[in-house]
Amino acid sequence: MAGKEKEYDVVIIGAGSGGIGAALSAGRLGLKVLLVEKSYEIGGNAAVSGVSVWEMGVGGTGIPFDIYKQLIKVKNASGIYSFNRHCTWKYKDGKSQFPAGADLTVDHSLGYRDSLRRYGAKSLAEDEDFVRKYWHGVVFEPKVYQDVVEKLIKDTGTITLLKNTSFQSVDFSKGLVQSITLSNGDSVSASYYIDATDSGYLCQACGFETLFGQESKKTFNEPDAPEIPTETINGVSLIYRIRPTQNDEIQQLPADIPQECWWRDSFPLTSMVQYPNGDYNVNMLPTMDGKEYMVLKREAAFKECQRRSLAHWHYLQTSFPEFQNYRRISEFMSLGVRETKRVIGEYILTEHDLLAGITRQKHLDVITLADHAMDLHGDERSGCTELSEPYGVPYRCLVPKGSKNMLVASRSASFSSLAASSCRLSRTIMQLGQAAGTAVFIAGNRQVNVMDVPSEDLRKELREQNVQLEWPIPRHLHEHIMNKKNCETWKTV
């Protein structure tokens, strides 16, 4: 029996960071929104994969800040962290401060505004003073994050959220999505659609061209690209959580897992971020390289990463006595995947944009700023130099080439592999979603295709939503972030 036919202003597939940003922006502007999520939990990597850390960086001044303001109303739900110790930093006697990797701890003297800069360091290893002064991110409890986002969605009164539901097929012709059939049997249609899936699945189903792996140097003439293309992608992580205890103890390693690291010469470095309650988020960098992940596929890769993460925890406890005061209490339900396929859009962001910076880019349609370095895990690619200033991401990166009524708002937007390694972070992706949701609102009002949304109108509306589009940050927006009315206390701003 055929499912029900339903109509919306916009249908969004995927409730990760991009889908959340898109749904909230469109819903707050009064659009009738359907947000579809294949899992029974929303949040994507930021929640179900335990990537519950917003790294330091410009941007993050729109919907991410709105979410943060709600998070800090809940005790121990969120905090701002600083770099406490790092393996490349030395004590006076020449010993590494933290051989295991990076130790990032909550600093109650800091607020959200302190999390809005990364650019300007020579490198983490060379510029300890700079990093200690400017590199601060946001850590949050994943379950509270999900609850906050779901309440914000409900409060709009215009968003329908469907969990445990995926799209099955799409009716697409001549650049237009006509309707989508969902796994629950419903056929849904809308004036506009947003693909916020982690691999551009809706775009792929429509036949839009994608990129995968490393592009060769001649493809975009990027200085740090390899001479020949490869299928190497960024590595994946299985994040787990540890908790301080009163007793020293080494947790027993299961009998079927060897103590040594059998898939590389040594265990990878680790990012350890403290939650406000004292637990730590433990992120191997990475647990598995991207190429192996693609060969094994999701389920088998997860099982292998479970084994590796247990061996990794045993290594930490036996190599560094301070970890004998902690217990591994859980692992997250899904792998943190950094890179998959990317949709070719009306503009492809490349390393050239990152190196040029916002002052030398000529784009008139920048819809978010970012300043993270090219961040590569699990291979030998170069190109991890810190940026000297932020760069802008153009709206055209959200428009699949030839699309009339669909946008893409996820890490599968139109980026080269090198550019994607920088702008894939959660707050940036959420702002891509915010721009996409706002763009379909403008497109609907003007009755135009997504490519014909006037950039000046889109940027004006985003500014009214307190999205940072200029650099340095404008005074009025800086004051908004500093305003006591926007947060519980001065320190949390």
pLDDT of residue 131: 97
Tell me what pLDDT residue 441 has: 98
Is the link from the previous residue into 286 a cis peptide, with omega within 30 of 0? yes
Dihedrals φ, ψ of 140, to 5°? Answer: -150, 160
List the domains of the chain with CATH numbers: 5-79+143-221+341-486 (3.50.50.60), 236-337 (no CATH)
Q: Which residues contact 276 (CB under 8 A, 6 or more apart)?
A: 76, 77, 78, 79, 106, 139, 141
For the chain, what is the HEC assignment? CCCCEEEEEEEEECCCHHHHHHHHHHHHCCCCEEEECCCCCCCHHHCCCCCCEECCCCCCCCHHHHHHHHHCCCCCCEEEEEEEEECCCECCCCCECCCCEEEEEECCCCCHHHHCCCCCCCCCCCCHHHHHHHCEEEEECHHHHHHHHHHHHHHHCCEEEECCCCEEEEEEECCEEEEEEECCCCEEEEEEEEECCCCCHHHHHHCCCEECCECCHHHHCCCCCCCCCECCCCCEECCEEEEECCCCCCCCCCCCCCCCCCCCCCCCCEEEEECCCCCEEEEECCCECHHHHHHHCHHHHHHHHHHHHHHHHHHHHHHCHHHHHEEEEEECCCCEECCCCEECECCCECHHHHHHCCCCCCCCCEEEEECCCCCCCCCCCCCCCCCCCCEEEEHHHHCECCCCCEEECCCCCCECHHHHHHHCCHHHHHHHHHHHHHHHHHHHHHCCCHHHCCHHHHHHHHHHCCCCCCCCCCHHHHHHHHCHHHCCCCCCC
pLDDT, position 375 = 84
Q: Whole-prediction pTM value?
A: 0.95
* Best CA proximity match to 309, nearest among 253, 365, 349: 253
Asked whether the beta carbons of 87 and 96 are under 8 A apart, the reply is: yes
What local confidence, expressed as pLDDT, does residue 489 receive? 40
Kindly report the number of other CB atoms within 10 A of residue 271's CB atom.
21
Q: What is the mean pLDDT of each run of 10 residues along the chain (493 residues)?
A: 76 98 98 97 94 95 97 98 97 95 97 96 94 98 98 98 97 97 96 97 98 96 94 93 95 88 79 98 93 91 95 94 97 93 98 97 97 77 75 98 98 96 95 98 98 98 96 76 54 42
Residues in the chain: 493
* Encoded amino acid at 56, one letter: M
Residue with tokens 């403290």: 274
